[in-house]
Amino acid sequence: MEIWIVLVGLCLMVGLLVADWLRPGLVLFSVAVLFMCTGIVSAEEVLAGFGNKGVITVALLFLVSEGVRRSDALGHCVERLLPEKRTMNVRQGYVRILPAIVSVSAFLNNTPVVVVFIPIIKQWARRIGLPLRKFLIPLSYAAILGGMCTLIGTSTNLVVHGMMLEAGFEGFTMFELGKVGVFIAIAGTLYMIFFAAKRLPGENAPNGDEHPARNEESLIVEVVLGPRFPGINLSFSEFDFRTHYGAEIREIRRGGVALPNLESQSFREGDTLVLDTDGTFVRTWGDSSVFLMLSNGKEYKPLCPPWKKWLALSLLALMIAGATFGSLPFMQRLLPGIRLDMFFWVAVVTVLMACFGIFPAKKYTKFISWDILVTIASALAISRAMTNSGLADLIAGHLIALSGSVSPLIVLAVLYITTNLITEFITNNAAAAFAFPIALSASEQLSVNPMPFFVAICIAASASFSSPIGYQTNMIVQGIGNYRFRDFVRVGLPLNLIAFVLTVVLVPLFWQF
């Protein structure tokens, strides 16, 4: 009976996530509460996810990423990479910017990287006459590829890492996932340089120039609605945007198309709005978490003194170096009794950034995506329900049987494909949390090392290339670039295949079954 309850709960959860009626965090938390009410998980097991070290590390990394974003270190970097030669073609532009985006996103949250780069690349492409739509999907994909290379590159890696620690395993070191992730990132970048431009639409994406301002004091601004926007799932007539924000909606784009008859539509997260505003809108709402991105056609230029830029980069380097070398024996002998892991260094750097004012300490809660944290914590509780009910063992047994063999490599391939399909339609963190107990149970039934399965889960849950739904950065660029769903399939499906083949080939070479 418990297996059936969990199975029905999971099906209900997937249906609600695909329908997008409620925020993912609330959907998963509701399912976790359902399992608690039926006695499948205890209250302590539901709450355990909120105290998980990986979840808290993700929260702190939001603040570190915000500090680096505000320092303008990213903008300064990309400006030096984008030449002003009007003779440059799209492929040459890829060569200059994609490796840099991959490198940066390996150490920072992907969303702020993409949000900072979009206005800069948009203005640059307009100046030199290149089609913007050739660059935005590759920008998102490069950020995803970079996230596969390190422990902190994406929250998915930290989720699996935290679950490994809870299960009694050592967890990942800083660059352990890079043994596979770097090869996938290189192959994916080369694929985009040589083939992506031909598979992407070439006409220019909509921009503010197509919407003339009402008068000289008006300004056309593009915004992408975030999860904190108070009008999510409310109709235009129910939520008066003009009264709340002092701006008039000129157009709204969803799924790559402009919506007709605005009065009958409802606001959704990820919608791109073209607004007619006055000069105060950008100043008032530029730092608000209500909008994932806000662009007024000008390059991102935060007011930040140079010393903060260098201090932010130095603290980021300290965090990376500390997490990399903190687990070495000589460091443990130097500071006995202190676990110098990723959480330790992220916590230290977060406090230092707050003390030096690199991000506004009084507003720190605005920069944390609480829905993502609730999603992760609730997914861990649901994962526990899958284990407690026996559903994970049942699925693992069928997974082994369907593979037609007891070969761990075939099971790994099937597990990768299953996780990758799930992540294209629901959140990547939830997909990783659901796959983890199945991977652990499969390894126990096969009596093999579970580490190869854990690595495959990390890569598969992050490799969301064929859909704009599974990854937030894909959703952001879809609205800005006016892409259709099929554009992601055309460009992203080969990337999915590249990641799958390299994972299945390389994982057994670095981690023995």
DSSP character string of 192-208 = IIIIIHHHS--SPPP-G
Nearest Cα neighbor of 136 from 487, 444, 409 is 487
HSE-up (13 A, CA, CB side) for residue 511: 21
Q: Where are the alpha helices (DSSP H) in 326-450?
A: 329-334, 342-355, 370-389, 391-402, 408-423, 428-446
pLDDT at 33: 92
- Return the residue matching tokens 């998963």: 28
Q: Is the pLDDT of residue 453 over 90?
A: yes
Q: Is the pLDDT of residue 286 over 80?
A: no
- Mean of the per-residue pLDDT values of the chain: 83
The band of 405, judged by pLDDT with boundaries at 50, 70 and 90, is low
Integer CA distances (angstroms), 501 to 195, 412, 419, 494, 496, in order:
18, 12, 15, 11, 9
What does the alpha-carbon distance between residue 91 and residue 78 come to, in Å, rounded to a whole number? Answer: 16
- Return the residue matching tokens 């070495």: 328
Using CA of residue 64, residue 69, residue 73, residue 77, what is the dihedral sign?
Answer: positive
What does the alpha-carbon distance between residue 300 and residue 298 come to, in Å, rounded to a whole number? Answer: 6
What does the alpha-carbon distance between residue 77 and residue 161 come to, in Å, rounded to a whole number? Answer: 31
For residue range 124-138, what is the model confidence (pLDDT) as tens digits?
888 778 888 888 899
76 or 366: whose pLDDT is higher?
366
How is residue 258 annotated by DSSP?
A: E
Structural tokens at position 84: 């002003």
Q: Is the pLDDT of residue 209 over 60?
A: no
- Return the residue matching tokens 């791109």: 272
**Of 18-32, 80-94, 130-144, 426-440, which gets the smallest average pLDDT?**
80-94
Domain 213-295 -> CATH class: alpha beta
- Return the residue matching tokens 């029905």: 8
CA end-to-end distance (rounded Å), the chain: 34
Query: Residues, the chain, total?
Result: 513
Query: What is the value of pTM for the model shown?
Result: 0.83
The residue type of 53 is: K
How is residue 220 annotated by DSSP?
A: E
Q: Is the pLDDT of residue 56 over 70?
A: yes
Residue 210 neighbours by CB under 8 Å, 6+ apart:
none
Domain range summary for the chain, segments of one domain joined by +: 213-295
pLDDT at 301: 58
